[in-house]
Chain A
Amino acid sequence: AQRVTQPEKLLSVFKGAPVELKCNYSYSGSPELFWYVQYSRQRLQLLLRHISRESIKGFTADLNKGETSFHLKKPFAQEEDSAMYYCALSGPSNTGFQKLVFGTGTRLLVSP
């Protein structure tokens, strides 16, 4: 079964502190992993995907196939990072269609 688990509903940190949003997945095969973000009163948008291996807004995420994890990290949190973060997976995208399976999300609150 395909499943994404985000164990924390809420993560509260102070500005400048390191952040790690946890994501574990279950998938038989080689999934693609994503992090989506939803800022207050804005739409859901892609933050990063594992195949890009990019750092976006200071965030990075490494796919660990052994631990089936795709944790999102940032060394120094900023107040503007406060948002809802969703981890998601899909199967290989060679069909032209991408079925995203989302986790339940983690709300990140960064306090001054």
Chain B
Amino acid sequence: DAMVIQNPRYQVTQFGKPVTLSCSQTLNHNVMYWYQQKSSQAPKLLFHYYDKDFNNEADTPDNFQSRRPNTSFCFLDIRSPGLGDAAMYLCATSRGTELGSYEQYFGPGTRLTVT
């Protein structure tokens, strides 16, 4: 089945230790998104890639970076995790054209714990 895959599903890291979350997709979608969802809060968009173009949300901390080496893969790097970065991180993909964008497909999420 075509889908969005996130690894690992659970990640524990230490305060200040860099961590990378990964997302892959078999849908061949050109747009990929990263959301952060803290406990009992709404998912919040951090950034997205439209093809190779990276688009950061204005309020996304500099601590968060992303890489997209090819269409299928996208990574979220947290350079120096703080306790406040503990959250569920959701990856999503969609097809986007100059005519519009289509349904977003979400991965299962990675739950990050910072100790």
One of A13-21, A63-71, A75-83, A93-101 at the interface: A93-101
CB-based A-B contact count at 8 angstroms? 60
Asked whether, in the complex, the Cβ of B106 is within 8 Å of the Cβ of A102, the reply is no
Q: Once the chains are docked, how many angstroms separate the CA of A45 from the CA of B44?
A: 16
Instruction: Determine how close the nearest CB of chain B comes to the CB of A9; give it in whole angstroms.
Output: 8
Instruction: Determine how close the nearest CB of chain B comes to the CB of A63; give it in whole angstroms.
Output: 18
One of B14-22, B66-74, B75-83, B92-100 at the interface: B92-100
Q: Once the chains are docked, how many angstroms separate the CA of A103 from the CA of B37?
A: 11
Q: Once the chains are docked, how many angstroms separate the CA of A75 from the CA of B100?
A: 33
Asked whether, in the complex, the Cβ of B45 is within 8 Å of the Cβ of A97, the reply is no
Say whether A4 faces chain B, with CB atoms less than 8 Å apart.
yes
Interface size of B in residues (CB-CB distance below 8 Å): 27
Q: Mostly helix, strand, loop or mixed at chain A's interface? A: loop
In the complex, chain B residues whose CB is within 8 Å of the CB of A46: 103-104
In the complex, chain B residues whose CB is within 8 Å of the CB of A94: 98-100
Asked whether, in the complex, the Cβ of B42 is within 8 Å of the Cβ of A105, the reply is yes
Asked whether, in the complex, the Cβ of B94 is within 8 Å of the Cβ of A98, the reply is yes
Asked whether, in the complex, the Cβ of A43 is within 8 Å of the Cβ of B43, the reply is no
Extra contacts, 5 of them, besides A44-B106, A98-B94, A98-B102 (Cβ < 8 A), are A9-B40, A43-B109, A94-B98, A94-B100, A96-B31
